[in-house]
């Protein structure tokens, strides 16, 4: 079990490092762009495109980390009052469901990437657009892995609770 | 078949499944049943996630979290106290104004109660305000700036309802001020009755508080003035704010350390952004499917069979939204409910900006309504008081907010006048 937790925190470290890097780039580039546009009425052509895609990357990385910290938005009107085994069972069920949906979304986004590759579409000059969109399947894969780890952890809590 | 799926999904949602997976499942199933490639969900996700205005969301959220983690809440309270402390019940006004500004910047995610409430509640009680009132005030103020720029809720609403975000910000000014003003007047009355000692006004105190906060004072002016004056778009304001706050808090005030604190705040704030964008991403596909299937149109016909007048519709709408606000948090409510309501409201000739104000005010009240209002739980945790006690303390505030909601609902000019006068596009 500790192996899974280690995998989870290893992934988190990797996601966090990327996230911090991307957000730093975004803050600097977005500001630079405003200055250029207002003071010199010009801007960097590729900056707007890069910024828009950074949102996509930051969003998926943030969502992946949020999974490990139970920060996804859900309706907790009912679960707030659940305790012990009922709570753990609900977690196993809902995380399993979440993982399954993420896998389906991963599959759909792979098809999307294949479509982009076939179309040879570019996002800016020579850069293929699937480079920019690669985080969609990547992000859903990360989300699925984190959810599956949560399933295992919740099951473990369930089994331990029974022994006690 | 469809009924079973819908019931199952609702059950899973009630058991606490992340909402983005519920919405994602609904979208996947809907496309699958309609014989459309599920890739369509991803195409829509890509389209919405790379909308230019979306950049404002991570930038503003980061800036808000950075402010909350720094010592700026304390400086802001000191400044507001020097400005309003001499008024009867002035301290309560301090609470309202600082919380409104802070909620606008942090996106009503509960940061206000944690960062400011803990600071303000002890001062209120020390200054002789009744305990119950103080608790109610701090709890209600945790979501009061929702209608002011650069509120995350407004940005999200604009994206989903396809309304200009800059217009929404301008439209929110008067309803937002009415809300703060109403609670302010009530607070002054309570302060006068409780014989709260007044501070004497001192230019010296104001001067030193202003000097302390000198670098933060330009911020609301920059954002609010910039957007209202048409100088900046919301996206540009976000870019400037994030950069400015980073430089000021880390390199000028040195409240936060660049390598020790900033990455932590970045990750903390982007978890919220990720959670919101995850919902937004899958919801957009579902929304487009619903519109293609003319579901809002069918809903409208259903509604029209029973409701013919605009007034009745508005009453039902408010009742419905209050229940939504009790059950859901504001971000998912916007993403899920707005696409269904907007077309119906258009048929009843309700202006989109007016509808936005009705919607957001309802959801703002939802933060306070038992049994599940988020602010009640946050306050209960922060001040270590039983939920029931907190719920009782906000009753008066809910009442006042309901009155304001009625005014916002039946006086559309309140939401529209400023936009027309300023000619915001």
Q: Which of A37, A38, A52 sits opposite B55 (nearest CB)?
A: A52
Dihedrals phi, psi of B144, to nearest 5 degrees: -80, -15
pLDDT beyond 90 at B308: no
Are the C-beta atoms of B39 and B60 separated by less than 8 Å?
no
What is the pLDDT at residue B166? 87
Q: Higher pLDDT residue, B220 or B362?
A: B362
> CB of A141 within 8 Å of any CB in chain B?
no
Proportion of chain B above pLDDT 90, given as a percent: 41
Question: Among residues of chain A, what percentage have pLDDT more than 70?
Answer: 97
Find where tokens 């000619």 sit: B423
Question: Whole-number mean pLDDT of chain A?
Answer: 91
Which of B55, B277, B329 lies at the smallest CB-CB distance from A51?
A: B55
Which of B5, B8, B17 is the best mutation test for A, with the most CBs of A within 10 A? B17
Nearest residue of A to residue B20 by CA position? A73
**Which residue from A minimizes the CA distance to B234?**
A34
Look at A48 and B58 and tell me if their CB atoms are within 8 Å: no
Q: How confident is the model at residue B108 (pLDDT cuts 50, 70, 90)?
A: low
Q: How many contacts, defined by CB atoms under 8 Å, are there between A and B?
A: 195
Assign B149 a pLDDT band (cuts: 50, 70, 90): confident
Q: How far is A1 from chain B (nearest CA, A)?
A: 23
- What local confidence, expressed as pLDDT, does residue A162 receive? 62
Contact B19 A28 (CB under 8 A): no
Q: What is the pLDDT of residue A163?
A: 55
Contact partners, residue B299, CB within 8 Å, separation at least 6: B340, B344
Nearest-angstrom CA–CA distance, B96 and B77: 10
pLDDT of residue B226: 80
**Residue B388 banded pLDDT, cuts 50, 70, 90:** confident
**B38, B55, B270 ranked by CB distance to A19: nearest:** B270
Structure-model confidence comparison of residues A73 and B351, the more confident one: B351
Query: What values do phi and psi take at B406, rounded to 5?
Result: -60, -45
By Cβ distance, the residue of B25, B54, B57 closest to A101 is: B25
The C-alpha of B102 sits at a distance from chain A's nearest C-alpha, in angstroms, of: 21
Instruction: From chain B, pick out residues whose CB is under 8 angstroms from the CB of A141.
Output: none
List of residues 6+ apart from B59 with CB closer than 8 A = A26, A27, A30, B238, B239, B241, B242
* Span B404-415, pLDDT tens digits: 999 999 999 999
A75 → closest Cβ in B13, B42, B276 = B13
Is the pLDDT assigned to residue B222 strictly greater than 90? Answer: no
Are A59 and B268 spatial neighbours (Cβ–Cβ below 8 Å)?
no
Residues of B in contact with A73 (CB under 8 A): 18-20, 275-276, 279, 329, 331-332
Task: Read off the pLDDT of each residue in B103-117 and give the average, rounded to a whole number.
Answer: 77
Neighbours of B242 (CB within 10 A): 26
Model confidence over A79-133: pLDDT tens digits?
Answer: 777 888 888 899 999 999 999 999 999 999 999 999 999 988 888 888 888 888 9
| pLDDT value, residue B232 | 80
**Interchain contact, A72 vs B45, CB within 8 Å:** no
Residue contact B239–A72, C-beta within 8 A:
no
**B331 contacts A55? CB cut-off 8 A:** no
Q: Does A64 touch chain B (CB under 8 A)?
A: yes
Q: Given pLDDT bands bounded at 50, 70 and 90, which one contains residue A2?
A: confident
Percent of chain B with pLDDT over 70: 99
Give the nearest chain B residue to A26 (CA atoms): B59
ipTM over 0.85: yes
Note whether A30 contacts B239, CB cutoff 8 Å.
Answer: yes
- The Cα B172–Cα B181 span in angstroms is 14
CA B417/CA A44 separation, integer angstroms: 38
Mean pLDDT of B52-81: 90
Counting Cβ atoms within 10 Å, is residue A156 exposed (0-12), middle (13-18) or buried (19+)? Answer: middle
Contact call for B331 and A73, based on CB within 8 A:
yes
Mean pLDDT lowest for which of A123-127, B80-84, B105-109? B105-109
- The confidence score (pLDDT) of residue B302 equals 84
């Amino acid at each position: 079990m500790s192996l899974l937790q280690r995998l989870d925190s290893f992934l988190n470290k990797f996601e966090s490092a990327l996230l911090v890097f991307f957000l730093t780039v975004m803050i600097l580039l977005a500001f630079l762009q405003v200055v250029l546009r207002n003071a010199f009425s010009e801007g960097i052509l590729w900056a707007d495109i890069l910024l828009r895609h950074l949102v996509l990357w930051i969003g998926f990385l943030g969502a992946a980390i949020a999974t490990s910290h139970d920060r996804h938005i859900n309706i907790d009107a009912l679960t707030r009052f659940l305790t012990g085994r009922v709570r753990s069972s609900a977690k196993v069920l809902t995380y399993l469901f979440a993982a399954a949906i993420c896998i389906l979304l991963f599959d759909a986004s792979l098809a999307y990437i294949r479509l982009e590759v076939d179309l040879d579409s570019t996002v800016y000059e020579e850069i293929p657009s699937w480079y920019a969109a690669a985080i969609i399947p990547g992000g859903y894969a990360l989300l699925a892995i984190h959810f599956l780890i949560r399933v295992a952890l919740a099951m473990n809590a369930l089994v331990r609770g029974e022994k006690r | 078949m469809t009924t079973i799926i819908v019931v199952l999904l609702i059950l899973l949602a009630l058991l606490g499944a992340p909402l983005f997976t519920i919405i994602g499942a609904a979208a996947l199933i809907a496309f699958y049943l309609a014989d459309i490639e599920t890739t369509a969900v991803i195409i829509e996700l890509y389209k919405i996630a790379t909308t230019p205005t979306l950049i404002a969301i991570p930038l503003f959220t980061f800036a808000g979290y950075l402010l909350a983690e720094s010592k700026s809440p304390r400086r802001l309270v000191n400044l507001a106290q020097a400005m309003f402390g001499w008024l009867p019940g002035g301290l309560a006004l301090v609470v309202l104004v600082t919380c409104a500004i802070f909620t606008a910047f942090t996106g009503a995610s509960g940061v206000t109660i944690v960062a400011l409430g803990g600071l303000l509640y002890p001062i209120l009680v020390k200054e002789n305000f009744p305990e119950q009132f103080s608790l109610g005030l701090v709890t209600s103020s945790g979501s009061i700036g929702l209608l002011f720029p650069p509120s995350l809720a407004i940005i999200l609403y604009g994206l989903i309802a396809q309304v200009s975000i800059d217009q929404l910000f301008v439209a929110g000014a008067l309803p937002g001020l009415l809300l703060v003003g109403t609670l302010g007047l009530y607070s002054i009355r309570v302060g006068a009755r409780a014989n709260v000692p007044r501070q004497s006004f001192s230019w010296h105190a104001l001067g030193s508080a202003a000097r302390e906060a000198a670098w933060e004072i330009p911020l609301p002016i920059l954002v609010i003035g910039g957007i209202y004056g048409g100088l900046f778009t919301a996206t540009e304001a976000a870019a400037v704010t994030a950069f400015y706050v980073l430089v000021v808090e880390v390199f000028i005030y040195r409240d936060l350390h660049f390598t020790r604190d900033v990455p932590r705040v970045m990750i903390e704030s982007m978890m919220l952004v990720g959670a919101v964008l995850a919902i937004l991403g899958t919801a957009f596909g579902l929304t487009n499917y619903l519109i293609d299937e003319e579901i809002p149109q069918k809903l409208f016909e259903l509604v029209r069979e029973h409701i013919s007048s605009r007034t009745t519709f508005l009453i039902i709408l408010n009742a419905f939204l209050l229940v939504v606000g009790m059950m859901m948090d504001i971000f998912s409510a916007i993403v899920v409910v707005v696409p269904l309501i907007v077309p119906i409201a258009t048929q009843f000739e309700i202006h989109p900006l007016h509808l936005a104000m009705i919607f957001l005010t309802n959801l703002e009240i939802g933060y306070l309504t038992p049994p599940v209002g988020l602010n009640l739980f946050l306050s209960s945790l922060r001040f270590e008081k039983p939920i029931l006690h907190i719920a009782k303390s906000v009753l008066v505030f809910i009442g006042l907010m309901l009155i304001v909601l009625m005014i916002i609902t039946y006086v559309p000019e309140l939401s529209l006048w400023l936009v027309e006068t300023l000619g915001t596009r």
